[in-house]
Amino acid sequence: MPSDTNRPRAVAVETSSRLGSIAVSQGGRILASRAFTQQRRHAVELLPTLDATLAELGWRSDDIDEIYVSAGPGSFTGLRISITFARTMAKAVGCRLVLVPTVHVLAANAPPDVAHLAVVLDAKREQIYTAVFSRPAPGRPLAEVLPVALRTPAEMLAAAPRPLHLLGEGIDYHRDALTVGPDVIELPRDLWPPRAESVCRIGWAMACRGEFTAPQDAIPVYIRKPEAEEVWERRHGRQG
């Protein structure tokens, strides 16, 4: 590769939520980031946004050594777009691929004084995709204590420690069931969306640990099957 192997050049992609974004880094240092201009336009904006950002840096696509992708759970369509893009790019230019759990990307938005955090993403049918994080000690990073899964809000609240802070775009869909109060606190709305900068930082740390995924093995973290697939299987007598 043309880049210095000791300072790999990387692209991070986040399309799991309404508004997508990308970030570009070298050796773990973020050089540029850019959000898409419109919501739910990932397929239209991903390539032009990335191309413009690379051009500003004087990079070409074959300069990229690593690609970090927010892998879900999240929007089925958004995840398919970014994973397909990452697999294609990895095969085309030979870069290595890191799949970053979206709940970790979201947890990175939490303020440093948050001791316990629940990520809340809408899964429809009165359920949420959720994971719970806690700090082992003040000043330490949040660590996952309840793995990402499909739960009802009540199930998540019953299992999570207090005081519990909430963030994620699923809050608005399940507000009545989340019983916000003195020991369940909703974080500001500007902390709810996942960001490509966090994908970049977490992806870099995973890459340093050698946590790469072969392109042919890269699949989104759906947890639940897409609704269209479930409908097809019910109509044709197939299950799980």
* Domain CATH code at residue 160: 3.30.420.40
Is the same domain home to 209 and 180?
no
Residue 73's domain comprises: 9-102+194-235
pLDDT (0 to 100) of residue 166: 98
Answer whether residue 2 is part of any domain.
Answer: no
Is the same domain home to 32 and 46?
yes
Is the same domain home to 89 and 161?
no
Is the same domain home to 36 and 95?
yes
Is the same domain home to 129 and 211?
no
Per residue in 2-18, pLDDT tens? 445 569 999 999 999 99
Answer whether residue 19 is part of any domain.
Answer: yes
Q: Band of the pLDDT at 222, cuts 50, 70, 90?
A: very high
Is the same domain home to 166 and 95?
no
Is the same domain home to 202 and 92?
yes
Cβ-count burial 103-127 (b if 16+ within 10 Å, e if not): bbbbbbbbeeebbbbbbbbbbeeeb
Is the same domain home to 69 and 138?
no
Answer whether residue 120 is part of any domain.
Answer: yes
Answer whether residue 44 is part of any domain.
Answer: yes
pTM score, whole prediction: 0.90
Q: How far is residue 22's CA from residue 122's CA, in Å, rounded to a whole number?
A: 23
Is the same domain home to 185 and 200?
no
Three-state DSSP class for residue 99:
strand
For residues 20 and 14, the answer to whether their CB atoms sit within 8 Å is: yes
| Mean pLDDT score, 127-147 | 96
Is the same domain home to 24 and 47?
yes
Q: How many domains does the chain have?
A: 2
